[in-house]
Protein backbone atom coordinates (compact mmCIF):
# COMPACT_ATOMS: atom_id res chain seq x y z
CA UNK A 1 0.00 0.00 0.00
CA UNK A 2 2.78 2.35 0.99
CA UNK A 3 4.58 1.51 -2.20
CA UNK A 4 1.51 2.30 -4.24
CA UNK A 5 1.19 5.66 -2.56
CA UNK A 6 4.79 6.46 -3.29
CA UNK A 7 4.24 5.66 -6.94
CA UNK A 8 1.24 7.94 -7.04
CA UNK A 9 3.29 10.78 -5.65
CA UNK A 10 5.90 10.34 -8.36
CA UNK A 11 3.21 10.34 -11.01
CA UNK A 12 1.71 13.54 -9.64
CA UNK A 13 5.07 15.30 -9.70
CA UNK A 14 5.60 14.19 -13.25
CA UNK A 15 2.20 15.52 -14.27
CA UNK A 16 3.02 18.84 -12.70
CA UNK A 17 6.15 18.99 -14.81
CA UNK A 18 4.20 18.20 -17.92
CA UNK A 19 1.78 21.03 -17.26
CA UNK A 20 4.59 23.49 -16.68
CA UNK A 21 6.95 22.58 -19.44
CA UNK A 22 4.95 20.68 -22.01
CA UNK A 23 6.95 17.51 -21.32
CA UNK A 24 9.76 18.40 -23.73
CA UNK A 25 11.78 20.51 -21.36
CA UNK A 26 10.53 23.57 -23.22
CA UNK A 27 11.09 26.73 -21.26
CA UNK A 28 9.05 29.91 -21.64
CA UNK A 29 10.36 31.72 -24.68
CA UNK A 30 8.01 34.64 -25.15
CA UNK A 31 7.49 37.51 -22.80
CA UNK A 32 4.50 37.04 -20.56
CA UNK A 33 2.95 40.43 -19.70
CA UNK A 34 1.00 38.97 -16.77
CA UNK A 35 4.01 37.47 -15.04
CA UNK A 36 4.95 38.99 -11.72
CA UNK A 37 8.65 39.64 -11.38
CA UNK A 38 10.58 42.35 -9.59
CA UNK A 39 12.14 44.67 -12.22
CA UNK A 40 15.86 44.20 -12.81
CA UNK A 41 15.91 40.60 -11.58
CA UNK A 42 16.91 37.53 -13.58
CA UNK A 43 13.29 36.45 -13.43
CA UNK A 44 12.22 39.79 -14.86
CA UNK A 45 14.65 39.30 -17.74
CA UNK A 46 13.54 35.74 -18.47
CA UNK A 47 9.81 36.32 -18.13
CA UNK A 48 9.30 39.85 -19.40
CA UNK A 49 12.07 40.19 -21.95
CA UNK A 50 12.76 36.64 -23.15
CA UNK A 51 16.19 35.07 -22.74
CA UNK A 52 16.45 33.09 -25.96
CA UNK A 53 16.25 33.26 -29.71
CA UNK A 54 15.95 30.45 -32.25
CA UNK A 55 17.55 29.74 -35.59
CA UNK A 56 16.59 27.90 -38.74
CA UNK A 57 18.52 24.78 -39.77
CA UNK A 58 22.25 25.35 -40.28
CA UNK A 59 21.80 29.15 -40.09
CA UNK A 60 23.07 31.85 -37.81
CA UNK A 61 21.18 34.76 -39.36
CA UNK A 62 18.61 36.41 -37.12
CA UNK A 63 14.93 35.88 -37.82
CA UNK A 64 12.60 38.91 -37.38
CA UNK A 65 11.39 37.31 -34.14
CA UNK A 66 14.95 36.89 -32.90
CA UNK A 67 15.78 40.50 -33.77
CA UNK A 68 12.73 41.63 -31.83
CA UNK A 69 13.76 39.64 -28.74
CA UNK A 70 17.35 40.90 -28.92
CA UNK A 71 16.14 44.52 -29.17
CA UNK A 72 14.17 44.01 -25.95
CA UNK A 73 17.20 42.36 -24.34
CA UNK A 74 19.39 45.32 -25.33
CA UNK A 75 16.86 47.81 -23.94
CA UNK A 76 16.72 45.91 -20.67
CA UNK A 77 20.52 45.67 -20.49
CA UNK A 78 20.82 49.43 -21.09
CA UNK A 79 18.38 49.94 -18.25
CA UNK A 80 20.45 47.76 -15.90
CA UNK A 81 24.06 48.67 -16.75
CA UNK A 82 25.59 46.56 -13.97
CA UNK A 83 24.33 43.31 -15.46
CA UNK A 84 26.86 41.11 -17.23
CA UNK A 85 25.81 38.30 -19.54
CA UNK A 86 27.05 35.29 -21.39
CA UNK A 87 25.40 34.30 -24.66
CA UNK A 88 25.26 30.50 -24.99
CA UNK A 89 25.17 29.17 -28.53
CA UNK A 90 23.54 25.81 -29.23
CA UNK A 91 22.93 23.55 -32.21
CA UNK A 92 20.52 20.69 -32.80
CA UNK A 93 21.67 17.06 -32.81
CA UNK A 94 21.49 16.64 -36.59
CA UNK A 95 25.03 17.75 -37.27
CA UNK A 96 28.55 16.51 -36.59
CA UNK A 97 30.19 17.44 -33.31
CA UNK A 98 33.01 19.79 -34.38
CA UNK A 99 30.90 21.64 -36.91
CA UNK A 100 28.10 22.10 -34.40
CA UNK A 101 30.50 23.57 -31.86
CA UNK A 102 31.58 26.06 -34.51
CA UNK A 103 28.05 26.74 -35.71
CA UNK A 104 26.86 27.44 -32.17
CA UNK A 105 29.80 29.82 -31.70
CA UNK A 106 28.65 31.61 -34.82
CA UNK A 107 25.11 31.89 -33.43
CA UNK A 108 26.31 33.22 -30.07
CA UNK A 109 28.55 35.71 -31.88
CA UNK A 110 25.70 36.94 -34.09
CA UNK A 111 23.51 37.53 -31.03
CA UNK A 112 26.34 39.26 -29.19
CA UNK A 113 27.15 41.51 -32.13
CA UNK A 114 23.52 42.54 -32.40
CA UNK A 115 23.35 43.43 -28.71
CA UNK A 116 26.54 45.49 -29.09
CA UNK A 117 25.05 47.25 -32.12
CA UNK A 118 22.13 48.17 -29.88
CA UNK A 119 24.40 50.00 -27.47
CA UNK A 120 25.34 47.32 -24.96
CA UNK A 121 28.98 47.70 -23.91
CA UNK A 122 30.93 44.72 -25.37
CA UNK A 123 32.85 44.26 -22.10
CA UNK A 124 29.58 43.12 -20.49
CA UNK A 125 29.04 40.28 -22.98
CA UNK A 126 30.89 36.99 -23.31
CA UNK A 127 29.95 33.96 -25.40
CA UNK A 128 30.26 30.20 -25.07
CA UNK A 129 29.55 27.53 -27.68
CA UNK A 130 27.95 24.26 -26.60
CA UNK A 131 27.38 22.64 -29.99
CA UNK A 132 24.83 19.84 -29.67
CA UNK A 133 25.85 19.01 -26.09
CA UNK A 134 23.02 20.70 -24.19
CA UNK A 135 19.64 20.06 -25.82
CA UNK A 136 16.53 21.19 -23.93
CA UNK A 137 13.90 19.47 -26.06
CA UNK A 138 14.29 15.71 -26.32
CA UNK A 139 12.69 14.04 -29.29
CA UNK A 140 13.80 13.02 -32.76
CA UNK A 141 11.63 15.47 -34.63
CA UNK A 142 11.88 19.00 -35.96
CA UNK A 143 9.58 20.39 -33.22
CA UNK A 144 12.33 19.53 -30.73
CA UNK A 145 15.31 20.40 -32.89
CA UNK A 146 14.00 23.90 -33.59
CA UNK A 147 13.98 24.58 -29.85
CA UNK A 148 17.52 23.33 -29.50
CA UNK A 149 18.92 25.60 -32.25
CA UNK A 150 19.15 28.59 -29.95
CA UNK A 151 21.16 31.33 -28.35
CA UNK A 152 20.39 31.90 -24.69
CA UNK A 153 21.34 35.10 -22.91
CA UNK A 154 22.38 34.09 -19.39
CA UNK A 155 22.89 36.70 -16.68
CA UNK A 156 26.25 36.14 -15.01
CA UNK A 157 26.17 39.03 -12.54
CA UNK A 158 24.83 42.41 -11.55
CA UNK A 159 21.11 41.63 -11.53
CA UNK A 160 18.89 42.84 -8.71
CA UNK A 161 18.43 40.00 -6.20
CA UNK A 162 15.03 38.34 -6.07
Q: Which of 53, 74, 83, 101 binds other proteins (CB under 8 A)?
A: 101
Across the strands, what pairs with 157? 84
Q: Which of 75, 139, 157, 162 binds other proteins (CB under 8 A)?
A: 139
Shortest Å distance, C-beta 109 to other proteins: 4
x/- map, 60-99, other proteins, by CB under 8 A: x--------------------------------xxxxxxx
Question: Collapsing DSSP states into helix, strand and coil, what is residue 27?
Answer: coil
**Angle at alpha carbon of residue 57, lines to 140 and 121, rounded to 5°:** 120
Shortest Å distance, C-beta 149 to other proteins: 15
Q: What burial letters (b/e) apply to 84-122, b meaning 16+ CB within 10 Å? A: bbbbbbbbbeebeeeebbebbbbbbbbbbbbbeebebee
Closer residue to other proteins in complex, CB, 66/103 = 103
The answer to whether the CB of 129 falls within 8 A of the CB of 149 is no
Q: Which of 48, 135, 150, 151 binds other proteins (CB under 8 A)?
A: 135
> How far is CA 13 from each of CA 7, 16, 58, 122, 134, rounded to the nearest angstrom?
10, 5, 36, 42, 24
Shortest Å distance, C-beta 110 to other proteins: 6
Which residues of the chain form contacts with other proteins (CB under 8 A)? 25, 60, 93-99, 101-103, 105-106, 109-110, 113, 128-131, 133-136, 138-140
Amino acid sequence: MLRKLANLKVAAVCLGLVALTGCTGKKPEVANPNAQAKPGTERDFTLNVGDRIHFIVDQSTLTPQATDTLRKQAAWLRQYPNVTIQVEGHADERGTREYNISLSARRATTARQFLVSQGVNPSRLSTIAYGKERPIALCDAENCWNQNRRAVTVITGGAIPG
